[in-house]
Amino acid sequence: MTDALDDRYGRRPGKRRLSPSLLVGLVVGVPFLAWVGWVWWTYSTPDVQSQDVNFSIVNAHLTEAEIVVTLSDDAVDPSCRIQALAADKTPVGSWTWTPVDGSNHVKIKTEREATAIDLVGCTAKGQSRPR
């Protein structure tokens, strides 16, 4: 029965060849998927991450904050930045420091009374976006 179908529909014996469009798709698609995987992995596992826990307004010229920082073993030259904001959301003070792994207690000197803080984030060498 297979021979009759082969005769009827013209199936040729031998190897099947890859179509040119499939070959081009593989040549372009596989490196593209590898690049997407690399980008995803790089940006989903930053060297430095930070999170603000709490803050307090000490007086009109000083604000304190507790920031938890997670450093990976690969973190090189980590740096964190925080801002103190006034009621109108204007920055009234900022502080940049070299963090330690775990809890970081920072003091921000302000030009006038702050009402909130903005943790800009932390970066390390090769990590351009603060986290």
- Beta-sheet pairing, 62-71 with 79-85: unpaired
Q: Give the pLDDT band (50/70/90) at residue 32.
A: very high
Q: How far apart are CA 48 and CA 56, in angstroms?
A: 24
Question: From CA 112, how far away is CA 60, in angstroms rounded?
Answer: 5
Scan for tokens 């930045």, then name that residue.
81
Examine the domain organization and report whether 76 and 114 are in the same domain: yes
The average pLDDT across 13-41 equals: 85
Q: Answer yes or no: is pLDDT of 43 > 70.
A: yes
Same domain, 58 and 117: yes
The reply to whether 108 and 52 lie within a common domain is yes
pLDDT in tens, 56-105: 999 999 999 999 998 887 778 889 999 999 999 999 999 999 998 899 99
In a domain, 8, yes or no: no
Q: Is 42 exposed, middle or buried (0-12, 13-18, 19+ CB in 10 A)?
A: exposed
Residue 64 sits in the same domain as residue 118: yes
Tally of structural domains, the chain: 2
Q: What is the mean pLDDT of residues 44-59?
A: 86
d(CA 51, CA 121): 8
Q: Look up the domain containing 72 and give its range.
A: 48-123
Inform me whether the pLDDT recorded for 1 exceeds 70: no
